[in-house]
Structure 1
Amino acid sequence: MSASDPESALFPEPGTQVTLPDQPPPVMLAGVTRVLWLTSDGEVDWLSPKEAARRVKDEAPLVCHARAAGRRLGLEAGFRAYDVLELYAFTRPASFCAPTPRGMAQALGLPQPESLEDQAVTLHRCADLLLRELEALSREDAAAAGIAYTMARAGWLWGPWVMQALGLHDGSGTPPRLGQGYRVWEKLGEWSDHAPEPQPSSAAVEAPEARARLAELLGDESEERPQQADYASAISTAFQPRADEGAPNMVLAEAGTGVGKTLGYIAPASLWSEKNEAPVWLSTFTRNLQHQLDGELDRLYPQASEKRQRVVVRKGRENYLCLLNYAERVPSVSGAQASDQAIALGLVARWAARTRSGDMVGGDFPGWLVDLLGRARTLGLADRRGECIHSACEFYRKCYIEKSIRRARRANLVVANHALVLIQAAMGGAEDGHLPLRYVFDEGHHLFDAADAAFSAHLSGQEGLELRRWLLGAESRRGGSASRLRGLKRRLEELVAQDEQLSDAVHAIVRAAVVLPGEGWHARLNDGQPQGPCEAFLLQVRRQVHARAPRAAEGYSLESEVHPANDELLSSAAELDRALEKLLGPLEELKRLLARRLDAEAAQLDSDTRRRIEAAQRSLERRAIVQVSAWRSMLAALSEETPEQYVDWLAVDRIEGRDIDVGLHRHWIDPTIPLAQTVLEPAHGAVVTSATLTDRTGATEGDWQAAEARTGAAHLLSAPTRARVPSPFDYASQTRVFIITDLARDNPDQIAAAMRELFLASGGGALGLFTAISRLKAVHGRIVRPLEEAGLELLAQHLDGVDVSTLIEMFRAEPDSCLLGTDAVRDGVDVPGRALRLIAFDRVPWPRPDLRHKARREHFGKRQYDEMLTRLRLRQAFGRLVRRGDDRGVFVLLDSRMPSRLYGAFPEGVEPKRVGLAEALAETRDFLAG
């Protein structure tokens, strides 16, 4: 490989030859305290971050993840570099690699580098290999050539190299056009309509059939796993015909880590879907597990074409690339001089032409591209809340979202997430009005929290502004695609143009919607100058919160109880309620008139118009009527009493001491009541499964009752089937648990020192978990330098600028790295093998004592409720440690206040040891060395 210097990398005029310098670029690996610089002559220089920052101004280096390197050099604005990740994204679009030298080497099938010097050389080898792959592309690949040409003209440093690899460097032939290859929608197929799916049959899946299907999935050469077969047998109970309406066949199944529960439930689920010609929805809590579950389905459908027909991954609309958003940016790349936006759009275009589903969040769009290119130029292209214009969009029949919705009707297995499933159920069905008959909820211990989010209501500044935008559209031009945000009037203008009553209802909604918070509402509250009754109400909410919230909460979100409400708050609430009544009336009238038109013109309406009217009805109900009705109920309770099934509170939400929202909130005290009513009762069968489903107090019946209370099973007519399959792992010999007794848990210096020494004792492969972001940051600042000096890289959630799933992939790819994180990392990490061999928890993860928890604590059993939640969190954290039969690991709690009644969080045979730090360090070294 040879490279140009930054100033000579501009692409020449069409028809002229590209000349490339003789020497390759230097390679830079940036740490916190020192930077490796491999010169073009092969010499290794060790620089300080300041020295490296000065050098990159004169010479563009080859790097892996330029944004991360820039942060370590103190160059937040970035610097010019040959980022091998950009080359990878161009050459292998819709393909994953961890954004580290080792991760890149693994993805390309190269040997794993050991030393930093080896990593630097490996980056050169990776770049060479990727360029050789491009040489295999035909010059006739006009899309690749056009995108590369346009990106080069926009200043992409890799541009000349890619052009050379594509055979376009000699000036012969017809040069590509600027913008060629960016119009990806032209090659996308359209979805087509099908006849309605037949009524599902009621054929049962028997236990022997489930075992047989599992054996097929595992193959003849797989080891015998009796626990997995027992688990599949138990799950099959959910796939029997339902005996009574409102009484689904429900199975609560706890399967210890290592049982193989994913294939265990895929076996009966896939059988049922084939027998009955209807989909089973497999739901997870995290997008990361959705991706893993989709990968497991390769065993069931090894042929990609068959899998595409039978498996669909479904997420919320905000996860998918919006072709209209993307298309509005494309003209910027084909002018006389391509803008710098052409580089980001070019990489998105390469991905969009190859993606399986258009999913930009957790799908086949690399998470690190968001950091490299910026959120506005990546996730900013996704569908945004309330923005979609559905069938009025020119790309409607090619839309990734609409395709996934339609494919899900005809699929065998739909891989979804709890949030989507519950929100759709709360709104009366999926986006097409359908509700599944069979569910499997993996990560079932999160169902309670998912239901809590789905069945809540928030009368806040941000929620009010979102509704206003949806009803009125963009009220002022702010640049970019935001200016095309259409309000209700523009979205429905073709439907209501010839109907005076419909048109009057729309105009009445537009007039009434101005009561909602407008752009700049937060600044007006700060100035004490609210506009309209909603902003006036929010001003009084903030006043009461600041007057009553404990000052100890300063810097974090503030909250206060609703009652007794200030007179000014009651007065503003009454005025807002009257205003919302005037908005709700025409919203309901519009929905009624649309329904009337469907009935009156049933014989004349074409299919497209009928679909648009039905979609308009559903969106009115979901986005406006339900929300405004809930707000009015909440406002009425301010002067009366909150209904006993709810908890209401006032809050000022903050991030790092900065106010971001103000509002009145309402949650169910027991959100599994609506979960049971809207999701479980209409279903014919449901499985809720997890490795940590039950409590571990030692009282078996009580432990199962806790599981039933947190999954909605306690509210069903018939009792669920209970199944518990133990882990095959020998935790007593594979793990150690230490509780450190000689640390002051509120002293950040002592906690940081303990984390540092534990990470050094394990030689990396360590996960530090925190119950507060502030403590994570305090520890990170104290240990990052000494760890790097010892050769251990430290990664950190909230500090490294990448999403959690990418951070975990980096941690997995670098087996001697260390990672600091909070509950999102605790719940999402799945790192088998030596890459995770120590977990250190900063303190006992008691639930946060906010007003919502206070109400639930009273309802669910006071101290026992607190302890149940804490045991579940400790079990989840400990469960990250051993993922395979040969894993070994140490779990350390840096909190001497850990009560022995929480020891049930650990597996049978694992006895926590209360020791001083020095003893724990010595035993950790000996155990991991052994």
Structure 2
Amino acid sequence: MSASDTVETHGPAPAEPGNGPAALVAGRGQALWLSSDGEVELLGPREAAERAAAEPPLLCHAPATARRLGLERLAGYDLLELFAFVRPAAFCAPTPRGLALSLGLAPPHSLDERALTLGLAADQLLREMAARGFEDPAARGIAFTMTRGGWLWGPPLLRALGTGATAAEAGEAPRAGQGYAVWERMAEWSEHAPPSQPSALPVEPAAARRRLAELVGEEAEVRPQQADYAEAIARAFAPREREGAPNLVLAEAGTGVGKTLGYIAPASLWAEQNEGAVWLSTYTRNLQRQIDDELARLYPQPAEKRRRVVVRKGRENYFCLLNYAEQARSVALKGGETAIGLGLMARWAGATRDGDMVGGDFPGWLADLIGRGRSLGLTDRRGECVFSACEFYRKCFIEKSVRRARQARMVVANHALVLIQAALGGDEDGQVPAEIVFDEGHHLFDAADGAFAAHLSGLEATELRRWLLGAEGRRSASASRLRGLKRRLEDLAAGDPAIEEALDEALRAARVLPGEGWHQRLANGNGQGPTEAFLARVRQQVLARARQAGEGYSLECETAAPVEGLLAAAAALDEALERLEAPLASLRKRLLAKLDQEAETLEGELRRRIDGAARSLEKRALLPVGAWRGMLRSLEEETPPSFVDWFAVERIEGREIDVGFRRHWLDPSEPLARAVLSRVQGAVVTSATLTDRSENPEADWRTAEQRAGVPYLAAPALRVRVDSPFDYPALTRVFVVTDVRKDDMDQVAAAFRELFLAAGGGGLGLFTAISRLKAVHGRIAKPLAERGLDLFAQHLDGLDVSTLVEIFRAEPDSCLLGTDAVRDGVDVPGRALRLIVFDRVPWPRPSLIHKARRSEAGGRGYDDRLTRLKLRQAFGRLVRRADDRGVFVLLDPMMPSRLATAFPEGVPFARVGLAEAIAATAAFLAPQDG
């Protein structure tokens, strides 16, 4: 090892009691400092920052700690960085208590116990690393390079690994950059013959019951509702009688029935008997992970589970080796935070199960620690994959996932992927699943609404331009990954004049699309080209007519009576898009012709790449451009009756982010039925809240059938309802507070504060607007902290929703504020969630698409159904197991009585004053004797 590569390792040693760094934990607006000698001090934010700059302390999640103290940055030995290095791709809630639970330490309660836990966790992790010896050779090189980059944990880690200035005595001395080439340690995927057509043997109801009994085990609690549910679901796994008439089961299963294992039982039998795959589709990533965990009961051996179960998501969710390599290859020269961040990514990439960075085994908090550019920015979010032209193609996580799915029996996917692939004619192989289970079926309508919509907007058009043209001369590291169509197809086009000509013509025509800086040019009235000219007129019409102007929210208006110049701009853009569409269509046609004309000589991998390129052209370019042209032409005529058109200016906190022309299906269940359900043998649409709970059960089922697309199918659906086994009247209470003005944020905040205190934590606050959430958070965070309750918040803590939920689950006396995404993503059994407070009745937002659907569906009743669904979903978070207890509070005296049917029959429901609600909450949630 040269002198320039020597790393001194005599820095702080957290593993040595009395000789390590201090520990710092943050409350709201103050910090506790625990010195290495055991002295405890309470510090203000500025003093904590000065102390940390002079003497870096142990801490947990430096960015979050800084935010809680009102600081921009805080240096220290972050335990989460050490955890990510020692236990890559492992779970840990990003708090001292979460660390303790993951490491088997006693969970802390007070601030000083949390500080002590940091030292114990550091000691255990370093000892764990040392115990591995040289079983993890990549760790030494990565730690060495990260230390050169200034990583505080580097010296103690190198000591633990037996590596220091005299590293040669312990073996080969590490080199800068060593270990970052994770691809060198990865196995290549192997190709298999395409799967055969599955058989069509039915699943007998009695067999489904037996399989369920095997899955739950002899020691499990007897749940007859679950067995009834599994037997009913088996009806979907029978061969259909005629084309376009799937065996569709609509199944509502109350919370506690155990629907996941209930549908896995018949699904697994069908997959085994027929040697095919069943797709299990969810709306949220949390449930996707839960289903994957439950499938361990079916395949207890990890190796077999890996063969039989695969989690599928869109390509944009996976770690891209090529993107990573472009940064990692020069990491020895870059140093600093780049070396540290990429080192932690190298550790994760070497340990991950499947490279899934969004809801897989990638810790959501890691992106917050090292920056999104060095983490989530390494995914292929813009579709620039070069497929088999990539040097890492044979080791690609995405390609491995696709190939594993061909051989799998259970494919755990999400609604968006299933619907989009079905709309495009199947997956990469053109295969459509024979059997699909749609869990969280109440979201299927919304998923279809997004999947089958068309948006002609600045962001969408700019993304298409990037996909076609690439980086366009930019020199940044991220720009180098913007690989245009020419680079992706250049070797396929070489030697074929027709393909080369079509490609060149398409790239010239692509400049009609807006380039970087389009939004600023629109704001300044300097739009360039036909797309920006059209969007400028759209923006003008929205700003002139939208009623919400000045409130900071997104704006929209109807397309009728267009402003002067808009129709001319639309016609000019249509002509320009036609000049783009023609060569793109020719290019796709030539690629498919190449498959036909050179069938005898093309190798399998090259055939797949050509076919993939043709499919990408269809999906990424021809379909949207064709939809845009149809929308533009309709401006001079009428919107087709099946669609709703409108103009929009999208805003986030008052800042404009997009301008565009939107088209949605009036009833997206129509394309759902025709493109997806009519093509499968059987399907299950299931949820705990599939139907409304009005006073007309038959009407409730008809509405559920309409939202699932049943009227567009050639056969009726089987209706199934299995009620929850929970005793909701004994376990829950519902209060509507009548004396808090919902438009007075001081009163609303005071209600949240006192209710959270009455429950002793475990409170989830749900809001109908981000602005209201922020207003309450600013008023109650400090008072709650002074009473020992931690408060976390979506949109304010800088963490993704799944990480916030994990923190909330790990900290049983904390409270969490959030919006719809939190309501849908929370699964917190036990006392960690014992109180839900809704800021007001969650009426649907009065958008133009809602107005059209409301008119079609019958007016006020449509609003009521959607609102009851949100209330039912929120209430359903309270009780997840038989010994849970919970209180639901709505701070809205204007709640109509007809919405009360959203809650289970018999649940005590009372309209009370705030003082009474606080007292009743405290009494009901007080610890039970025995």
TM-score when normalising by structure 2: 0.97
Q: How many residues align?
A: 918
CA drift of 1:17 comes to 6.4
CA drift of 1:338 comes to 2.8
CA drift of 1:128 comes to 0.5
**Residue of structure 1 aligned with 2:551, choices 532, 548, 554:** 554
- Which residue of structure 2 lines up, in the alignment, with residue 418 of structure 1? 415
Q: Is the 8 A contact 2:323 2:481 kept in 1?
A: no
- Which residue of structure 2 lines up, in the alignment, with residue 575 of structure 1? 572
- Which residue of structure 2 lines up, in the alignment, with residue 837 of structure 1? 834
- Which residue of structure 1 lines up, in the alignment, with residue 108 of structure 2? 113
5 Å-filtered alignment, 1:283-682, equals 283-335=281-333, 338-552=335-549, 554-682=551-679
- In structure 2, distance between residues paired with 1:418 and 1:569: 36
CA drift of 1:881 comes to 0.4
**Residue of structure 1 aligned with 2:129, choices 114, 134, 150:** 134
Q: Which amino acid aligns with 1:211?
A: R
- In structure 2, distance between residues paired with 1:922 and 1:66: 38
Residue 822 (1) aligns with residue 814 (2): no
5 Å-filtered alignment, 1:17-416, equals 18=10, 20=12, 23-76=19-72, 78-139=73-134, 141-169=136-164, 171-173=166-168, 174-335=172-333, 338-416=335-413
Is the partner of 2:330 in helix, strand or coil?
helix
- Which residue of structure 2 lines up, in the alignment, with residue 4 of structure 1? none
- In structure 1, distance between residues paired with 2:229 and 2:150: 57
Q: Is the 8 A contact 1:512 1:582 kept in 2?
A: yes
Q: Is the 8 A contact 2:543 2:549 kept in 1?
A: no
Deviating more after overlay: 560-569 vs 424-433 = 424-433
Is the partner of 1:732 in helix, strand or coil?
helix
CA drift of 1:72 comes to 2.1
Q: Is the 8 A contact 1:320 1:382 kept in 2?
A: yes
- Which residue of structure 1 lines up, in the alignment, with residue 720 of structure 2? 723
Q: Is the 8 A contact 1:647 1:667 kept in 2?
A: yes
CA drift of 1:34 comes to 2.0
Is the partner of 1:778 in helix, strand or coil?
helix
CA drift of 1:188 comes to 1.0
- In structure 1, distance between residues paired with 2:550 and 2:417: 33
CA distance 1:553–1:229, change in 2 (3 Å) = farther
Is the partner of 2:310 in helix, strand or coil?
strand
Q: Which amino acid aligns with 1:133?
A: E
CA drift of 1:497 comes to 1.6
- In structure 1, distance between residues paired with 2:439 and 2:889: 28
- In structure 2, distance between residues paired with 1:312 and 1:258: 26
Q: Residues 326-352 of structure 1: CA distance to partner in whole angstroms, max 9, x if unpaired?
A: 0000123223x7342111111111111
Q: Residues 586-628 of structure 1: CA distance to partner in whole angstroms, max 9, x if unpaired?
A: 1111111222221111112122221121111101111111111
Is the partner of 2:372 in helix, strand or coil?
coil
- In structure 1, distance between residues paired with 2:596 and 2:373: 43
Residue 794 (1) aligns with residue 791 (2): yes
- In structure 2, distance between residues paired with 1:410 and 1:13: 47
CA distance 1:229–1:719, change in 2 (3 Å) = same
- Which residue of structure 1 lines up, in the alignment, with residue 844 of structure 2? 847
Q: Is the 8 A contact 1:787 1:793 kept in 2?
A: yes
CA drift of 1:114 comes to 2.2
- In structure 2, distance between residues paired with 1:633 and 1:789: 59
Q: Which amino acid aligns with 2:535?
A: L
- Which residue of structure 1 lines up, in the alignment, with residue 921 of structure 2? 924
Q: Is the 8 A contact 1:250 1:721 kept in 2?
A: yes
5 Å-filtered alignment, 1:902-917, equals 902-917=899-914
- In structure 2, distance between residues paired with 1:835 and 1:754: 20
CA drift of 1:19 comes to 5.9
- In structure 2, distance between residues paired with 1:820 and 1:462: 30
Structure 2, unpaired ranges of 5+: none
- In structure 1, distance between residues paired with 2:892 and 2:136: 61
Q: Is the 8 A contact 1:332 1:342 kept in 2?
A: no
Is the partner of 1:816 in helix, strand or coil?
coil
Once the two structures are aligned, what percentage of the paired residues are identical?
Answer: 66
Q: Residues 96-150 of structure 1: CA distance to partner in whole angstroms, max 9, x if unpaired?
A: 0101111110101111122221111111111101011001112363211001111
Is the partner of 1:909 in helix, strand or coil?
coil
Deviating more after overlay: 406-415 vs 907-916 = 907-916
- In structure 2, distance between residues paired with 1:781 and 1:914: 28
Q: Is the 8 A contact 1:459 1:631 kept in 2?
A: yes
Q: Which amino acid aligns with 2:491?
A: E
Q: Residues 811-860 of structure 1: CA distance to partner in whole angstroms, max 9, x if unpaired?
A: 01110000000000000000000001100000000000010100110111
Q: Residues 138-182 of structure 1: CA distance to partner in whole angstroms, max 9, x if unpaired?
A: 236321100111111111000011001111136142320111111
- In structure 1, distance between residues paired with 2:755 and 2:11: 53
CA distance 1:738–1:17, change in 2 (3 Å) = closer
- In structure 2, distance between residues paired with 1:370 and 1:282: 28
Is the partner of 1:45 in helix, strand or coil?
strand
Q: Is the 8 A contact 1:248 1:681 kept in 2?
A: yes
CA drift of 1:693 comes to 0.3
Q: Which amino acid aligns with 2:141?
A: G
- In structure 2, distance between residues paired with 1:592 and 1:580: 18
Q: Is the 8 A contact 1:17 1:171 kept in 2?
A: no
Residue 856 (1) aligns with residue 848 (2): no
- In structure 2, distance between residues paired with 1:892 and 1:553: 32
- In structure 2, distance between residues paired with 1:279 and 1:300: 14
CA distance 1:80–1:242, change in 2 (3 Å) = same
TM-score when normalising by structure 1: 0.97
- Which residue of structure 1 lines up, in the alignment, with residue 781 of structure 2? 784
CA distance 1:654–1:641, change in 2 (3 Å) = same
